[in-house]
Amino acid sequence: MDYVVLTEFILYFLLIIVVGYFTSRTKMSHDVFILGGKKLPGWALAFSERATGESAWLLLGYTGFVFATGLSGIWVAAGIASGIIFAWVFLSRKFMKEREKYHVLTLPDYLATKFGDKAKIIRWLTTVLIASFFVFYVGAQLAGAGKLFLTTFGINETAGIMIATLVIIATALFGGFISVVWTDMIQSIMMLVTLCVLPIVALIYIWSNDLSIADSLTMAGPSFDAWLGGATGFAIGVLFFNHFSWFFGYLGGQPQLSARFMAMKNEKEAKQGIWIAVIWTLLAYTGAFLIGLAAIAMYKQDSFTDVETVLPQMIIDLMPPWISGLLLAGIMAAIITTANSQLMVVTSSVSEDIIHKTLGLNISDRQLLLISRMTVFFAGVTGMFIALFSDSLLYLVVSWAWAGVGGTLSPAILLTFFWKRYSSVGLIATIISGFVFTVIWISTPLDEMITSRFTTFFIASIFGVIFSLLYPNRNHEKKDLGIGQNG
């Protein structure tokens, strides 16, 4: 065990907890705990959104994926980067304006309020959808923490998962959304430093040791040096859509990301956030892709029993201990930012959408705040047990959550924003079909042929359109008949 690296990890954990505590020292109410109460600048929200959106799967899952597949892994980065940029440029300000218009705190609450005649059903369905997938998503992040502790310190994965759970719950409990965003901001910078510094050092190592990425790609496997993975004909389309399909999950359907859009103050803050998010995305995904390629030149394909440990192993091999500690902390930062943000999403869905709005319980703001904090704790512990008893890979689990939540709610958001005839029944059909279809699809070999990240989006969209046409909202029926045009 390297005690220099361990000391830096301990200091990092203390820093995050202290920042979370001090940023929570504001007048706390339920709406401030859930969405920040418009107290946060656009640049901080942009850093937070990027850290939240990427998680351990970018630093561990995606770099390992590129190491195991080669050049064709570029299409995953292309799909994700396109989705992120599209969301910030075309959707972020729309979320901000709609939040102001309807005075809502969560994505489910927005959809329920927008389609008021079926509000309770919509809140229940979206909450079940989000909670079902996101507790597994949190579990995936905690599993990543266990891998990091095992690779770095030789610490048992179980102990690593429990330590990470403690830090994640603590930062979310203190000040809710405000604490999460400010700690995210620090961790987002740490992630970016890791993804920008490591590929430069790795490429210098490759050059100085007379290694060749091109030759290594050829030796690694027959498809590693092909941008389309050696696919031909119809298989090219399948490969492209399977990799690029991450794009569809970013189109407004990830509540932990759309919350950052909804929390923005004004147009000026939104423009500031767009620039930061776009630059961060381009730098981070370029770095992650290069790390995967560099690893192919540095290691043989059978060097790892788990390819998702490639990046931490590369850091240990290339860096002196004091720098290794800082860069490895960047991986832990990715884990913590996503996990505590998803805890906040589950919490807001339970406390705001179900207890406050759907059940309409007559409780005080202070009691509602207490319920939110209790939900954070129980959701975190549930994620911990999933991480302890699941062997699923980070890349796979995150992919399923991206399909189940993003592939379902993204068409719901796009149709809500841009199609006036979208109805409450159509929205319900979108949510149910997306949820059911994802579960069925990932339970069969079909997911290995064409990913549910792609198919769920289009199935949910089709159901939404068909049921909206079959069961339009009453106001749409009146407009079609020319009724009610004069009040």
- The 8-class DSSP code of residue 334 comes to H
CA distances from 13 to 123, 142, 297 (A): 36, 15, 33
Question: What is the average pLDDT across 307-328?
Answer: 84
SS3 state at 289? helix
- Residue whose structure tokens are 């991206």: 402
Whether 127 contacts 347, CB under 8 Å? no
pLDDT at 481 over 50: no
How do residues 329-348 score in pLDDT, each as one tens digit? 777 777 777 777 778 888 88
Residue 394's alpha-carbon distances to 53, 141, 186, 450, in angstroms, are 14, 7, 23, 19
pLDDT digits (tens, 9 = 90+) for 112-129: 999 887 888 998 899 888
Cα–Cα distances (Å) from 221 to 32, 209, 315, 405, in that order, read: 53, 22, 25, 34
Q: What residue ranges do the domains of the chain occupy?
A: 3-395
Residue type, 90: F
Across residues 307-316, what is the average pLDDT? Answer: 85
51 alpha carbon, distance to own chain's centre: 8
CB-based contacts of 130: which residues, under 8 Å, 6+ apart?
108, 255, 345, 346, 349, 405
Distance CA 51, CA 61 (A): 15
Who has greater pLDDT, 245 or 261? 261
Q: In 3-state terms, the chain is what percent helix, strand and coil (to 5)?
A: 85, 0, 15
CA separation for the pair 225, 223 (Å, rounded) = 6
Q: How far is CA 192 from the centre of its chain?
A: 16
Mean of per-residue pLDDT scores for the chain: 83
**For residue range 360-413, what is the model confidence (pLDDT) as tens digits?**
777 777 787 788 888 888 888 888 888 887 655 455 666 677 788 888 999 999
Give the gyration radius of the chain's Cα atoms.
22
Which architecture does CATH list for 3-395? Up-down Bundle (1.20)
Q: 134-158 burial by CB neighbour count: b if 16+ within 10 A, else e?
A: bbbbbbbbbbbbbbbbbbbbebebe
Nearest to 57 by CA among 181, 131, 140: 140
Could you tell me the two tokens for 395? 């890349």
The structure tokens listed for 186 are 């620090």
Percent of the chain with pLDDT over 90: 31
pTM above 0.85, yes or no: no
Q: Which residue has the tokens 């203390």?
A: 14
Q: Give the tens place of pLDDT for each residue, 432-469.
A: 999 999 888 887 887 777 888 888 999 999 999 999 99
Residues 258, 417: Cα–Cα separation, whole Å: 13
Lowest mean pLDDT among 95-104, 237-246, 306-315, 336-345: 237-246
Q: What pLDDT does 233 receive?
A: 62
User: How far apart, in whole angstroms, are the C-alpha atoms of residue 365 and residue 357?
Assistant: 13
Q: What is the pLDDT of residue 26?
A: 64
What is the sign, positive or negative, of the torsion defined by CA atoms of 161, 166, 167, 170?
A: positive
The upper half-sphere exposure of residue 93, i.e. CA atoms within 13 Å in the direction of its Cβ, equals 12
Res 260: pLDDT: 92
In 3D, which of 427, 476, 440 has the Cα closest to residue 107? 427
Average pLDDT, stretch 51-74? 85
Number of continuous H segments (helices) and E segments (strands) in the chain = 23, 0
Per-residue pLDDT tens for 147-202?
777 777 777 778 888 888 888 887 777 667 887 888 888 878 888 988 999 999 99
> Does residue 472 contact residue 458 with C-beta atoms inside 8 Å?
no
Return the SS3 of 450. Answer: coil
Higher pLDDT, 349 or 470: 470
Q: What is the pLDDT of residue 396?
A: 60
Q: What is the pLDDT of residue 487?
A: 36
| Orientation of helix 42-56 relative to helix 119-153, angle to 10° | 70
Angle at 292 between CA 288 and CA 297, to 5 degrees: 140
Angle at 433 between CA 427 and CA 434, to 5 degrees: 90
Work out the number of other CB atoms within 10 angstroms of the CB of residue 179. Answer: 28
